[in-house]
Structure 1
Amino acid sequence: MQFIRLGSNRVKRIAACAAVGVAMALTSAGMTVNAQPSATPTLAVPDFTQVVEQTEGSVVNIRTTESVPVRRSPMGPGPSDPYEMFRWFFGPDFMPPGMPGPRQRNAPTPPEQERTVPRGVGSGFIISSDGYILTNNHVVAKSNGIFVTLTSGKEYKAKVIGTDPRTDVALIKIDAQGLTPLPIGDSTKLKKGQWVLAIGSPFGLDSTVTAGIVSAINRDTGDYLPFIQTDVAVNPGNSGGPLINLAGQVVGVNSQIISQSGGFMGISLAIPIDEAMRVVDQLKAHGKVTRGRIGVQIGSVSEDVAKAIGLESAKGAMVSNVEPNGPAAQAGVRSGDVITRFDGKQISQMSDLPRIVGGTKPGSRVPMDVWRKGKTITLQVKVGEMPSADEAGAGQGEQPKAEAADALGLKVIEVSDTVREKLDIKGGVQVAQVEEPAAAAGLAPGDIIITINDVDITSPAQYAKVVAGLSPSRAAALLVIRGDQSQWVTITPRK
């Protein structure tokens, strides 16, 4: 690093010019400075106390519990046995002298027992006087008990009204009246550099307030929604809490952090409140969210591809596969088309299409512009209904329905005719979602399973029967195709 030494008079002139420039910039931004000529200009930092006083009482702490199996003896399925170690050395029928009868090797295994343990801590905020609370789906998912604590210290047991894993939004309710809801703002009016606050329970520390600015809007992270990016300090436990503007209005729901350490590193993401409230309306009315689908797999349009096919710019969503007999196929969409507009809305990037289609009412017939062979063609497509979040991936186009996760930790779907023709295969199933133990074995969504052990896989139904017959005591061998390569992968089924 180099340092430049300046004369004292020159330094004074530069400092005076800089002070004038700062004062002009702050004045144009609506901020105030100390106007006394003899004083150093100072920034009038916003006073957050009034906003906090108005909103803090509507933010709640959420703790959850879950059921876990009771740990049994490490030497066997039954209860703890002080002589189990001797039997490991001397055989399963070993009994100490004076003990009656041999040990029963085939005694029935006692039923699995469970116990309730703390699961996690999160945040939420009141959106109605009769006890509706908005939070994140991941705060309440897989829990068997949800407990809400108000700032007054009073605790309630909550029930889940509905959840939406795609947007990570959950609506819960407590049996209470006369609560003070937070006013809902307009997240579409947010601007970069705007002051915002976060209130929540990071690391379980209730009613913690942090402040910062909006760093970016419409931040695309590959998820179903564009996020609000801020530099507000958000840590584990803040999830589900409100992002509040200086008018005391909720503009977002704190949901994620981008971190290499697991703690705050200067970037946090919030769900725009407009999108969250649209989800809440459906959850309150139906307990679930209904979205549209058109049955395509899509990809981004690169600059080189745009030039090659005559597009003015690299915009739109490239159709890589069309679901047979799906809404798009019936409308005449072909692989290789670039969807540039849907229902009058421009598709600037690939991720715009699932969001716009998802927000369209199923059954609607809408116009869709596609770029094909150097010109725009307008097609009429009848929007179908999207399966639940567990049945299809949101960011890469829609997929056919997937069954529930099986003993291998997989959810699979039918392989499309286009993919089968391309790979020159007759059967197989495509992986839609991966959990343990398949995740540990390296499987990923999009992989195609064509053989398990020595059985060729022909359909999802036949695959399910084969998996159901696998033994949890023996690893199964799967022949998997990824891209243009195939390999054998071994997975031990879970019980």
Structure 2
Amino acid sequence: MKRLASLLLVSVFAGAITLGAYKLFFEKENFTIISQENNGGVVNASYTPTSARGSGINEVDFTTAAENTVNAVVHVKNITLSKGPKTIFDVFYGTGGTAVPQVGTGSGVIISSDGYIVTNNHVINKATQLQVTLNNNRTYNAELIGTDPNSDIALIKIDTNEKLPYLAFGDSDHTKIGEWVLAVGNPFNLTSTVTAGIVSAKARNLGKNQSFIQTDAAVNPGNSGGALVNTNGDLVGINTAITSQTGSYVGYSFAVPSNIAKKVVQDILEYGNVQTGFMGISPAPVNTRDAIEKGINNIDGVYIELVEDESAAQEAGIVVGDIIKKVDEIDVHKYPDLTGYLSTKRPGDTLALVVDRDKELLTLPLILKERQSLVVPEMGLEVKNLTEHDKKVYKTNSGVKIIGVPERYRGYGLSEKVIVKIDDHEIGNIDDAYTAFGGISKYGKTVIFMVGSNGERDRLIFQ
């Protein structure tokens, strides 16, 4: 018994020594400080750093933006009539076949309480009838007001006695990469549908020097023409396109920036067409052998390879080799940054350009001019307005100069000729040429009157 008591006493002392050693040498102090200064309690219960902005997506409220948007997004139905296959009766009676209605659908955004609606040009293209269904399932016939194929924006209108909910244009120049956005559309006539994502990139170019906002908000066929809004409910874009090998959404969608869409709408309402301001420059192509050899392949900015005569750029003092770094307050890293901003401007607007010339930054004021060249329909010739020098050389005060000829017309000696007349239409400028070539019939004969640099006069019969 005495031996058992001794063992128990030794065990107790050993445990006490072990616990005391752990407390003294190994255990760290961990305590909570409570301060009551200024009558307020502060408790530090964790030593892990946290974001000052909260826990991310759980802190973002999409509900207000969605509630303010869904009723302003509509379903747009495009009805076109196309010729169906000929029957034996059509052949016998010489008719052209039965007209077959084709239906296309998309979305649109109401931008005024009296019924003006923005959508995509490709949604309403070639329509013989347009119908708009609101989120309350009321359907109206719509009138086409105007379109701009270059930006893929169209303006339509419905007439109603009630005041309609609408969205105001936001400032797309101030959207930021990583910012939360909602894509709101009316696909498949399901009433308005909302998806969320972030701004993935800005100034994306899809092949025509356009400038799109890229997002990862899910957009599918039928969403074209719908709204891209930020978490405040501001309209920052018109959903336009997806990139997909299947035709369905795979992670990338694109929207026309609201500043471009707003300017197109204002031009259509005020002028009947889009007023575009031009600088008159051509950038050096990137990712080419020539660009690599010149050392300009990875330049941050737009390297100017050509300055047109009597253009806004030439009058501003811009020269070949300048690198555009900034326009007004917009940083320019690539050409779509520049073209996207220019799409919001008109002839006569003044810009402040910051250019890098031999590693010296210069600020040059530039006044945009009207378009000086374009490609005419039907024949595809590129023509430009005459400069004062051209008028002296060709001894004519009117006409347009041919500066680009498609391959199929290369053997006709058209390059550098001046077109002065098409049939009975006198050609004064590129707008006259565009209208005259647009009226050429595929089944008739057209006579094009031209002047050469030596004063010789030619006629080309086009049929």
**TM surpasses 0.5:** yes
Change (3 A) 1:69 1:232: same
Secondary structure at the counterpart of residue 274 of structure 1: helix
Separation in 1, partners of 2:250, 2:342: 34
One-letter code aligned to 1:79: D
Match of 2:111 among 127, 131, 149: 127
Alignment check: 8 A CA contact 1:56 1:207 kept: yes
Separation in 2, partners of 1:125, 1:53: 14
1:192 Cα offset (Å):
4.2
Change (3 A) 1:220 1:429: closer
1:24 Cα offset (Å):
6.0
Aligned to 2:40: none
Structure 1, unaligned runs of 5 or more = 1-19, 33-42, 82-108, 387-398, 418-426, 432-446, 473-492
Change (3 A) 1:295 1:190: closer
Q: Note the alpha carbon deviations across 1:249-284, whole angstroms, 9 max, x for none.
A: 333221111111110101111223233223322223
Q: Note the alpha carbon deviations across 1:358-409, whole angstroms, 9 max, x for none.
A: 44442356565655667667766542113xxxxxxxxxxxx713222x2xxx
Alignment check: 8 A CA contact 1:156 1:174 kept: yes
Separation in 1, partners of 2:251, 2:344: 31
Match of 2:55 among 17, 23, 31: 31
1:172 Cα offset (Å):
1.3
Aligned to 1:451: 410
Q: Is 1:60–2:74 an aligned residue pair?
A: yes
Change (3 A) 1:416 1:374: farther
Match of 1:412 among 376, 381, 384: 381
Alignment check: 8 A CA contact 1:310 1:374 kept: no
Q: Note the alpha carbon deviations across 1:102-121, whole angstroms, 9 max, x for none.
A: xxxxxxx9565673623410
Separation in 2, partners of 1:59, 1:281: 20
One-letter code aligned to 1:241: G
Separation in 2, partners of 1:377, 1:449: 44
| Rg larger for | 2
Change (3 A) 1:400 1:80: same
1:329 Cα offset (Å):
4.4
Aligned to 1:298: 283
Change (3 A) 1:377 1:220: same
Match of 2:270 among 285, 288, 293: 285
1:195 Cα offset (Å):
3.6
Q: Note the alpha carbon deviations across 1:129-176, whole angstroms, 9 max, x for none.
A: 111112112211222221111122221111122222222222211102
Give me the TM-score of the superposition, normalised by structure 2: 0.65
Aligned to 2:183: 198
Alignment check: 8 A CA contact 2:203 2:336 kept: no
One-letter code aligned to 1:430: G
Aligned to 2:458: none
Alignment check: 8 A CA contact 1:296 1:320 kept: yes
Change (3 A) 1:175 1:314: same
Q: How does 1:427-466 map to 2 (within 5 A)?
A: 430=404, 448-451=407-410, 455-458=412-415, 459=417, 461=419
Aligned to 2:305: 320
Q: Is 1:239–2:224 an aligned residue pair?
A: yes
One-letter code aligned to 1:31: S
Aligned to 1:478: none
Separation in 2, partners of 1:181, 1:142: 26
Secondary structure at the counterpart of residue 411 of structure 1: coil
Q: How does 1:372-387 map to 2 (within 5 A)?
A: 381-386=366-371
Give me the TM-score of the superposition, normalised by structure 1: 0.61
Cα RMSD (Å) of the superposition?
Answer: 4.4
One-letter code aligned to 1:155: T
